[in-house]
Structure 1
């Protein structure tokens, strides 16, 4: 009955955590809060409009797809999400991955990869993997974010300088070679206008923090270009309606090839959305539901994929702006989406005059903010292994791609972690009373040098996890056993876990000692190692009587065996 009750309680707790925040925060909703949410939603929409356009152009799709991505995702996540103030939309992190997918597989490939990523996110939420995202090491996060920033900067140099190139190469280094080759075709008007916008983007927040600097740069830059009749490329007419591309079939090989970039999109969405949830929780003193947020982001990106839009996730800056402007419920995110739709319908005739160099300037400043200089410099005193992961993740991201960077970064982290664990695993022999001339004043009854150890007995203390990285240390134990030894006591009170490789090494040690008529006795074997020993048949091989609960019992057992 108790087990059934616990199961029911656990199930009820899970179901409660999987309920969208919308249902729980609307119980005591007031008119005053509605006005605050509406105001916050409109303000964040003003911030999001130029960014959504810039991220879409940077990703290699038309501008309206970025706006529709922000509209659809913010409303869907508001209705289904697990955060009170999450504002969702396209972000700079997707530029590099979407460009690579479109280059390799076309718009059809991006649609399928985004749908696959959405399904992965839904499954991650259902299987309660929201907490596991925190296991991605910080050096990898900072490294690939910095790499993405360098990639965005590189992509925007073309429009910022007004260089005319028929077809830009994909490779990072080849891009810079192309820029150097076409340096004579720089449009000075574009550079001049872009520099003015960068100055506005940097200086404006010091003058007024209420009105977004990107909006001011967009308005001023477009006005200067139009009034002065500067010869710069403009955005052109943006369709008000969303054109949905037909989803054609891909071969099975292509589908399997898209799994890796789809997984990368899913990880990026999950990391940014949950990071945004954690940050805004501290501002509004709330607690987001991580798994429900993943499900909502998954549903949102599945819909975006079906409609041919770019991926979207929770934006940290936009969500913070929402919280600081009074937004406290998902109603603010809904108003954010509706306001963007209003801008799309009403303001499109004006947006077509926006120069590409102005959008490039906005993204260059975004890339600078993404490249966290303080975080990079903070690793100067970090362990060399962490520095190696940081640099590798950053360089691989802009040189070879985000997918490879994450894969290599995770492998490097795992290998270095296993090395550290192997380094802390130790097997030490005791210092015995019979070898000491002076016992000193130590009255601790558990002190190692105050235990009576029978003759012909050796005691070894094992510390740290016993796994394949430290398995060779177990074999060294046999080298210390001399001909007069009859019993070896192995104390395992500091061994939290053991794997099959270490278990096999332990079997080899036992077989070697058994051939020389030496008995192995264990003490303080913890739950996981003992379970592994039983499952592997090791306890049957050495005998239950040689598994002792305490060190004193193990020493008594050794004395009997020696006698």
Structure 2
């Protein structure tokens, strides 16, 4: 799987570019890995382990040649919630289960379905995650003491306000220095690895000018071990699976969405195409293996993938070199990370939160004032004030209901008759007073599914002036019929046939026709009553009506009506198959 089309036309000269890109991304990934791990409620080295293992495995088995995987900001709220509620060891189990789910999603080719998740839902929970990340760094930014992490957003805000009197001036100075570096240095020196600089300079200032005045990784977590973790399989039981399946499912869904979004961004930057299901498979393998070494869940990282491309990456080897660089740094420089102030990491995460907040898209969808606006607002508020699991579930449900409501307005059922001058059917003759007591023709336009099936039946029964002898349904523009639509159509057919009427169907496309054949409705209507065009169907209908009724009819709905009154024969070729 490794030596595949992602290495198409790969040359030796590309190797140097991959090495350079890998090191560049590795420099960016190190501070982010530690910051994301700390914000998720675990030790910083677990973020580094995730970067090393997941980055390597996604590069080997993923579906994009440029994807860089690792811990991301999007995971912070859900991982922190799992840690607070279940503990770190159970987080590993949830991550392992999420990996299995991702593998299954790849095997069963669900990658192509994830793209159908509404943008209002993804923007809603992404913006909500950004708010949680930003607010979660206020305590470190101000150096607040004794701040207990709570499960809910409002509880954390109350805790921060309660402890705000304990703010540390030195922490504020450290954080402000880092924030100013992140904002202004890239404008002067765009090629500088800004995140590493934003950690290094505040750390040196804190060591030189006010040592022991701010909380550091060392004082908070005891430093970072200068070794790679040992393999350890988590203790998985049926009780644990039952307890953790919901967070595992959300981790898998979020990981799949983020990875495929990142791959799409990479495609847009390079003109290449990723393999969505293979990407899910690679992400799944990474998330199964990473917890075995103490790592947290990982996904494709959009910012790091974009950095990889901008740094000249040519193949998945850049992702491998990125992982090796982080491993080398861990083994060589881990003890020095204990001096990094937590206050210097706060502005990094705050800027990450701002960049992922999608504030322009959020405002744009809200201004539309449609069903999408409601879905966006509800998903956002639930993400912030309840949790991501509930937000995604409710958001998708509301999006589905909004879609059904919109689609129900798409279905049109219109009574029509042929125009006398060109035989094309139109509602005009009906509105002009021409009608036929024996044949009624209806044009059905739109999908016949559970959201509109009842409406379809009611519209037909309501518009039928009397019980005609023949009911002709023109269904050329019905793209789908689901089980509910088929059931309502079957009910209409049964009632009509019980009263001695004949149902004719014209123009039905292959997919809905197959549904009727499988359900048996095709046989109940009669194979001889299905026509490719309206013309032949109408010719058939005119043959089976009662001509005695035509003698006393005053409507002259069809051009043949005069001939019927005189009991004259009519030509089969009178109606074109193009009607």
Q: Normalised by the size of structure 1, how large is the TM-score?
A: 0.90
Segments of 4+ moved more than 6 angstroms:
450-453
1:401 is aligned, of 379, 384, 387, to: 387
Residue 509 of structure 2 corresponds to: 526
What do residues 430-452 of structure 1 show as CA deviations (whole Å, max 9, x unaligned)?
Answer: 2665xxxxx7xx75856665899
State the alpha-carbon separation in 1 of the partners of residues 48 and 192 from structure 2.
Answer: 20
Show the counterpart of 1:15: none
Q: Distance in 2 between matches of 1:300 and 1:432?
A: 64
How far apart are 1:26 and its partner, in Å? 4.8
Q: 1:71 deviation in Å?
A: 1.0
Q: Distance in 2 between matches of 1:192 and 1:182?
A: 19
Provide the residue aligned with 2:365 in structure 1. Answer: 379
Matches of 2:216 and 2:373, distance apart in 1: 42
Deviates further, 242-251 or 298-307: 242-251
Match of 2:266 in 1: 280
1:116-167 CA distance string (max 9 Å, x none): 1111111222222222221111111111111111111121111111111253
In the alignment, the residues of structure 2 paired with residue 359 and residue 308 of structure 1 have an alpha-carbon distance, to the nearest angstrom, of 22
Match of 1:65 in 2: 46
Q: 1:172 to 1:197 in 2, by over 3 A?
A: same
Give the equivalent residue in structure 2 for 1:254. Answer: 240
What is the match of residue 209 of structure 1? 190
Matched, 1:233 2:219: no
Corresponding residue for residue 4 of structure 1:
none
Instruction: Give 1:367 deviation, angstroms.
Output: 0.7
Deviation at 1:223, TM superposition (A): 1.2
Where in structure 2 are there 5+ consecutive unaligned residues?
547-579
**Is contact 2:195–2:348 with CA below 8 Å preserved after alignment?**
yes
Is the aligned partner of 1:81 residue 2:67?
A: no
1:67–1:518 Cα change, 3 Å: same
What CA distance in whole angstroms lies between the structure 2 residues aligned with 1:465 and 1:25? Answer: 40
Q: Is the 8 A contact 1:475 1:505 kept in 2?
A: no
Tell me whether 1:93 sits opposite 2:68 in the alignment. Answer: no
1:183 positional shift: 1.9
Partners of 1:481 and 1:166 lie apart in 2 by 71
Partner deviation per Cα, 1:66-87 (whole Å, 9 max, x = no partner): 1111011112222222222221
1:526 to 1:26, Cα distance in 2 relative to 1, 3 A: closer
**Corresponding residue of 1:106:** 87
1:149 to 99, 124, 130: 130
In the alignment, is the contact (CA less than 8 A) between 2:226 and 2:333 conserved in 1? Answer: no
> Residue 169 of structure 1: CA displacement?
1.9
Q: Once the two structures are superposed, what CA deviation does each residue of 1:176-209 show, in whole Å capped at 9, x if it has no partner? A: 1111112211112212221221121111221122
Paired with 2:540 and 2:252, the residues of 1 have a C-alpha distance of 56
Q: Which residue of 2 aligns with 1:267?
A: 253
Residue 484 and residue 369 in structure 1: after superposition, are their counterparts in 2 closer, same or farther (change >3 A)? closer
SS at match of 1:430: strand
CA shift for structure 1 position 484: 6.6
Provide closer, same or farther for how the CA distance between residues 355 and 542 of structure 1 changes in structure 2, counting only shifts above 3 A: same
Match of 1:491 in 2: 474
1:459 to 441, 454, 464: 441
SS in 1 for 2:503: strand
CA-to-aligned-CA distance 1:54-109 (integer Å, 9 cap, x gap): 01111111111111110111122222222222211111111111111112221221
Looking at structure 2, the residues matched to 79 and 538 of structure 1 have their Cα atoms a distance apart, in angstroms, of 51
CA distance in 1, matches of 2:58, 2:512: 44
* Residues 1:306 and 1:248: Cα distance change in structure 2 (over 3 Å): closer
The 2-side partners of 1:163 and 1:201 are apart by: 22
The separation in 2 between residues aligned to 1:515 and 1:28, in whole angstroms, is: 69
Q: 1:285 to 1:531 in 2, by over 3 A?
A: closer
Q: After TM superposition, list the pairs within 5 Å mapping 1:358-507 onto structure 2.
A: 358-382=344-368, 384-430=370-416, 445=424, 456-473=438-455, 474-483=457-466, 485-507=468-490
Describe the superposition over 1:216-245 as per-residue Cα deviations: whole angstroms up to 9, x where unpaired: 110111111111115110110211224459
Contact 1:81 1:296 in 2 (8 A): yes
- Asked if residue 198 in structure 1 is aligned to residue 198 in structure 2, the reply is no
Provide the residue aligned with 1:544 in structure 2. 527
1:463 to partner: Cα distance: 1.0
Matched-pair contact (CA < 8 Å) for 2:77–2:132: yes
Distance 1:31 1:518 in 2: 77
- After TM superposition, give the deviation of residue 45 of structure 1 in Å: 0.9
Question: How many Å separate the matches in 1 of 2:6 and 2:458?
Answer: 60
Aligned to 1:11: none
Shift of 1:359: 0.8
Alignment-derived partner of residue 148 in structure 2: 167
| Count of aligned pairs between the two proteins | 537
Shift of 1:50: 0.7
What residue number does 2:282 align with? 296
User: Residue 334 of structure 1 corresponds to which residue in structure 2?
Assistant: 320
Residues 175 and 518 (structure 1 numbering): CA distance in 2 closer, same or farther, change over 3 Å?
Answer: same
* Match of residue 6 from structure 1: none
Bigger radius of gyration, 1 or 2? Answer: 2
Summarize the Cα distance change of 1:416–1:56 in structure 2 as closer, same or farther, 3 Å threshold.
same
Distance 2:21 2:445 in 1: 55
Distance between the aligned counterparts of 2:328 and 2:229, measured in 1? 18
Which of 279, 291, 312 in structure 2 is aligned with 1:305? 291
SS in 1 for 2:409: helix
Equivalent residue number for residue 491 of structure 2: 508
Whether 1:125 aligns to 2:106 is yes
Q: Is the 8 A contact 1:64 1:242 kept in 2?
A: no
Instruction: Give the Cα separation in 1 of the matches to 2:338 and 2:37.
Output: 14
